[in-house]
């Protein structure tokens, strides 16, 4: 049996958001369309969330933090892909960032760089100078469910709204369908 989540206006329930997420929503024109729902932190990972709640895999999006390098220059970026896909880090992401090498950041480094909890990292409230690469399938969704910056809640917003986040670039085939 799945639990139906109770969605609340995120700007009115900022206690359910990480500080960087809360601060980003405070000045963002799209904030009124963002909702938050409290969850058990034990089900913060996508597969557990889908199994325990009314959230579908098709509406779930994952925010991944990457490190790209070229000629001694390093770029930190975030990637937003649907849970039904796999980020194409070795080709699409690497080429988009103009990198020679690209890798996912370690858990500790990602937490430190974002100020968010692992398993709750969200594209809302990332450092302003980071590129945010979004797979085109994300913005095609009516609604997406993403992290809130903490493991004890999730955020829901219209998929097209993601392209209005700071640094956002919508990329065709940034991800490939999962096997």
Domain-embedded: residue 78: yes
Domain-embedded: residue 2: no
Say what the pLDDT of residue 3 is: 86
Cα–Cα dist 59/90, whole Å: 25
User: Could you tell me what percent of the chain has a pLDDT over 90?
Assistant: 96
Domain-embedded: residue 51: yes
Domain-embedded: residue 3: no
Average pLDDT over residues 4-9: 95
Which of the four pLDDT bands, split at 50, 70 and 90, describes residue 1? low
Residue 163, domain extent: 8-177
Which of the four pLDDT bands, split at 50, 70 and 90, describes residue 120? very high
Domain-embedded: residue 158: yes
Task: Concatenate the DSSP letters of all residues of 121-176 into one string.
Answer: --STT--TTS-EEEEHHHHTSSEEEEE-SSTTEEEEEEGGGGGGSTTEEEETTSEE
pLDDT, tens only, 123-150: 999 999 999 999 999 999 999 999 999 9
Domain-embedded: residue 1: no
Spatial contact of 122 and 148, defined as CB atoms under 8 Å apart: yes
Average pLDDT over residues 165-177: 96
Does residue 108 register a pLDDT over 70? Answer: yes
Say what the pLDDT of residue 2 is: 74
Domain-embedded: residue 49: yes
Domain-embedded: residue 65: yes
Does residue 25 register a pLDDT over 90? Answer: yes
Average pLDDT over residues 23-47: 95
Does residue 10 register a pLDDT over 80? Answer: yes
Q: To the nearest whole number, what is the mean pLDDT of the chain?
A: 95
Query: For the domain that residue 129 is a member of, what is the CATH number?
Result: 3.90.960.10
Q: Total domain count for the chain? A: 1
């Amino acid at each position: 049996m799945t639990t139906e989540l109770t969605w609340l206006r995120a700007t009115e329930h900022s206690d359910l958001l990480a500080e960087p997420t809360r601060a980003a929503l405070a000045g963002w024109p799209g904030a009124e369309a963002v909702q938050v729902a409290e969850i058990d932190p034990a089900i913060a990972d996508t597969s557990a969330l889908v199994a325990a709640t009314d959230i579908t895999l098709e509406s779930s999006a994952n925010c991944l933090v990457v490190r790209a390098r070229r000629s001694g220059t390093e770029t930190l970026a975030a990637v937003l892909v649907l849970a039904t896909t796999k980020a194409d880090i070795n080709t699409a992401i690497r080429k988009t960032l103009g990198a020679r090498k690209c890798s996912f950041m370690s858990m500790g480094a990602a937490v430190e760089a974002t100020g968010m909890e692992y398993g709750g990292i969200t594209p809302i409230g990332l450092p302003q100078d980071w590129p945010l690469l979004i797979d085109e399938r994300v913005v095609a969704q009516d609604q997406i469910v993403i992290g809130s910056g903490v493991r004890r809640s999730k955020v829901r917003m219209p998929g097209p709204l993601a392209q209005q986040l700071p640094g956002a670039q919508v990329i065709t085939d940034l991800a490939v369908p999962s096997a």
